[in-house]
Amino acid sequence: MIKLLRRIIQEVNVAGDLDEALTIIVTRVREAMGVDVCSVYLTDPQNGGQVLMATDGLNPGAVRQARLRQGQGVVTLVVERAEPVNLDCASDHPRFMLLPETEEEPYQSFLGVPIINHRKVLGVLVTQRREAGRCDDEQVAFQVTVAAALAGAISHAEASGSITTLLGLRPQTNRRFKGLAGAPGIVIGKALVMNQQIDLDVVPDRRIEDVTAEIVTFLAAVEAVRIEIRTLGQGLSQALSTEESTLFDAYLLMLSSDSLVGKAVANIRTGNWAPGALRQTVLEHVRVFRAMEDPLLQERASDIIDLGRRIMSRLMERDKRTFQYPEHTILVADDVSATMIAEVPLGRLAAVVSMHGSRYSHAAILARALGVPAVMGLLDLPLAKLDDREVVVDGYGGRVYLDPSPAIRAEFLRIVAEEKKLTAGLAELRELPAETTDGYRVPLYANTGLTADLGPARDSGAEGIGLYRTEIPFMVRDRFPGEEEQVQIFRQVLRAFAPHPVTMRTLDVGGDKSLPYFPIHETNPFLGWRGIRITLDHPEIFLTHLRAMVRASEGLDNLLILLPMVYCVSEVDDTLRLLRRAHQGLVEEGYAVKMPKIGVMVEVPASVYQISAFARRVDFLSVGTNDLTQYLLAVDRNNERVANLYDYLHPAVLHTLVQIAQFARTHNIPVGVCGEMAGDPMVALLLVAMGVDSLSMNAGCVPRVKRTIRHFSLQRAKEMLQEVLGFESCTMARNYLDAVLKQEGLSNLVRPG
């Protein structure tokens, strides 16, 4: 049964469209379960109710014609209950309703299973038999498994508008895709789909003008792969038997066939660029081979995919060399990375849209640092059809609008204008302190990692850098940067803010931040080799890194060093020994450098309860609320499937922060917050009430947080904190804070318009 399930799921995954996927499902399930009928009903996205969308056994003429309104028939009962309905005889049930056009009168046994995606019932998978009798547990389990596998494809089809098209309904204008708010702001621009890896499924279609030139390029790529395959075969010829060597001959035959190369050329002639035409051709071949009964022929699908990726790799190398970024680039990818953002020329990046990730992934954090909107976790985005289309990115609501109508476009332009007006008003606060109405002052610092951030950080009114992410220069190179390179980068940052403090976090890679030249493959990377663990294991890298930071501070003396991912005092002791060694070595070499202050990031739960030990060793603490929240809640902040569970207003997080602030006061050590929490205007006010000594955030958040702090008294903030600490859920806390914002006329700080 498992083998059969895998085959069905494979066929569905490579189906050309929803109609084909549904046909595969009803045919295969009917065969596998030995039933007389298998049908799929889907929810009408515009009118509600259930529509027969595919059947094997009922009258095919009833497809898209047979409809059940809400409350009619046993099928809608499955939807209401969101659980299987297993009946001996459907006609005996009080909810039974005969649809004459389906010609289902002869069938008695009924099993309906809901098709559910993210708690939403998308439709019902139904099997029927002539004889009466309930299905057994194994049959129910099989049908439930198939329905679960089908849910993703249907959800994607619903989001992309395929269901509307199949039903013959009027196409929806302003198609909207809901994701997760990654970085605030609203922008209208042109989508540019990027391929992070050679993933055939997400290669976009793109129109071309010069068909002949595109065909020449494609055939050149094919020839390059043909030479590559021939060379590989010759290299292994001594180690392989004649029979085994025929594999390479088969590859060469496929590269010479009209069915693969000729079909791709034909697709290019329709006006699609070579990568899009190749994707279309390869997936068509894969569907054919995977539908075959012969296991050897089924395996041919893998060969086709391999060849497709090899040709695609050659084409993408060409594409990367000649790439042009639109003036208002909406960077779109399956999983946007920091390096992809860094590759966009300054001034052209307008927004970031990623199918994977969340508000707390580093792509979103970088977007906020650059002041561009971002929407993450758009699993149902039709990536292959998005390139060069006009889109609206709403980073406040986490929505993307495709091909907006003139009315929608005008409304968003109005909101953009209002946002600009708000930003201009906040600029008046630049030289004013973040001080409550009763005189309590809190320094506001900026988080940064790119040299492009330095100007906006200064203009924001930040009083220094509270978190400089030193890993960014490492991530955008193809090797570890040397000491001189690091000195130049770090000195530029330190000089830009002197005499104000600049806190540099030591190299923090691992988890969701990888270096292309230093890959780390782990089953559970967030609990693995990352942060201080990596640098201490590689003192040759760490010493160079520490020397570069200390050297860069010569004559400026505004450097503070922050250690990430610390979980025990031995890590601090080992780092201090290396830092003293680096400092002493520089002094002996003639550099007039001072020993910088050093701090520990409190982001691992274990570190919360070692503050007294840390206080005897370091000069300050900085709470990294992004990771601390992740670890306290056991929620991967980059996983869009559970990102809705990640919330720093969770009671456990708030009470832990109160505890950290109390421990810091007891041991007389300064404590700041440098996570995303600090940039949330109303939550920042709660942190002030807790007694946090400083806040560090993305530059764009500084004026909004400053405006909020200057609006309230410290006493009022403490009263609000006590109110929030009494709530039992994140929702209650957020609703309360939103109500206060609205009451005080500050709602536009969170979302203009």
Query: CB of 711 within 8 A of CB of 744?
Result: yes
Query: CB of 439 within 8 A of CB of 668?
Result: no
Alpha-carbon distance of 747 to 753, in angstroms, equals 9
Torsion angles phi and psi, residue 192, rounded to 5: -125, 110
Record the pTM: 0.70
The catalytic site residues sit at 362, 674
Consecutive H or E run containing 697: strand 694-698
Alpha-carbon distance of 631 to 623, in angstroms, equals 13
Consecutive H or E run containing 737: helix 730-743
Whole-number pLDDT of residue 3: 66
Contacts of 668 (CB under 8 A, 6+ apart): 615
Query: CB of 561 within 8 A of CB of 599?
Result: yes
CA angle 605, 607, 612 (to 5 degrees): 140
How is the chain split among helix, strand and coil, in percent rounded to 5? 50, 15, 35
Query: CB of 697 within 8 A of CB of 680?
Result: no
Q: Is the peptide bond before 499 cis (omega within 30 degrees of 0)?
A: yes
DSSP states along 338-385: HHHHHHSPTTTEEEEEESS--TTSHHHHHHHHHT--EEE--TT--GGG
In the chain (753 residues long), the average pLDDT of successive 10-residue segments reads 67 69 88 93 83 93 91 93 94 92 93 89 94 92 87 67 56 71 88 71 80 91 84 59 55 77 90 89 79 59 76 73 76 78 80 82 74 85 80 89 86 86 86 95 91 80 94 77 92 94 93 71 81 92 96 96 96 97 96 97 96 97 95 85 87 98 97 92 96 93 94 96 96 94 87 68
- Tokens read off for 113: 């299973």
Which runs of consecutive H residues, i.e. helices, occur in 437-592? 454-459, 471-475, 483-497, 532-537, 539-552, 569-588
Query: CB of 487 within 8 A of CB of 526?
Result: no
- Tokens read off for 309: 């990726």
| SS3 state at 175 | strand
**What is the number of other CB atoms lying within 10 angstroms of the CB of residue 149?**
18
Consecutive H or E run containing 400: strand 399-402
Alpha-carbon distance of 386 to 409, in angstroms, equals 18
Whole-number pLDDT of residue 336: 82
Query: CB of 316 within 8 A of CB of 331?
Result: no
Whole-number pLDDT of residue 195: 64
Whole-number pLDDT of residue 356: 81
- Tokens read off for 95: 């909810």
Alpha-carbon distance of 33 to 41, in angstroms, equals 18
Q: Which of 526, 688, 669 is nearest to 598 (CA)?
A: 669
Alpha-carbon distance of 273 to 251, in angstroms, equals 24
End-to-end CA distance of the chain: 55
Whole-number pLDDT of residue 589: 96
DSSP 502: E
- All domains in the chain, ordered by first residue: 2-166 (3.30.450.40), 625-672+681-692+700-753 (no CATH)
Alpha-carbon distance of 289 to 753, in angstroms, equals 53
CA angle 56, 59, 62 (to 5 degrees): 110
Alpha-carbon distance of 82 to 338, in angstroms, equals 41
Whole-number pLDDT of residue 1: 61
**What is the number of other CB atoms lying within 10 angstroms of the CB of residue 175?**
17
DSSP 199: -
User: Positive or negative, the Cα torsion across 617, 442, 740, 715?
Assistant: positive
Residue 107 exposure: Cα atoms within 13 Å on the Cβ side: 25
Q: Which of 316, 306, 299, 266 is nearest to 282 (CA)?
A: 306
| Distance, C-alpha 55 to centroid of its chain | 36
Sheet with 175-178, side-by-side order of all strands: 175-178, 399-402, 390-394, 186-194, 329-333, 349-354, 374-376, 180-183
